[in-house]
Amino acid sequence: MTRISVDSAAPAVKKFIRSLEIDANGVEVTLGGDVVCRIIPPGQLSDLEKSAQLGEVRQLLKAARKKSKRVPATVIEHTIRDAVKTVRKGR
């Protein structure tokens, strides 16, 4: 599992993280209508549930890779540049 520390993040990020009300089902964070992450309470999932979640993630990654193979590199590059511009505008 990847661990991301927000200790050195901007105060707005820390405030946002602290404001999340994480119930037993967790929280989904969306950006542009797409789920970019799911936050669940620690120890919430059993080993069987963890395996199921990892299986789902693997299927999503496989589908994304399959889809992106058909997309020309120039289109992917343009999409990434637009995303970077969007992020930088928000700063």
Domain positions in the chain: 11-89
Segment 70-81, tens digit of pLDDT: 889 899 899 999
Angle, CA of 4, 54 and 33, to the nearest 5°: 70
Segment 18-61, tens digit of pLDDT: 888 887 778 888 888 888 888 887 777 788 888 888 898 999 99
- Distance, in Å, from the CA atom of 38 to the CA atom of 26, rounded to the nearest integer, reads 7
Give the up-direction half-sphere exposure of residue 43: CA atoms within 13 A in the CB hemisphere.
0
SS3 38: strand
Region for 43 from its dihedrals, namely left if φ exceeds 0, alpha if ψ lies in -120 to 50, beta otherwise: left
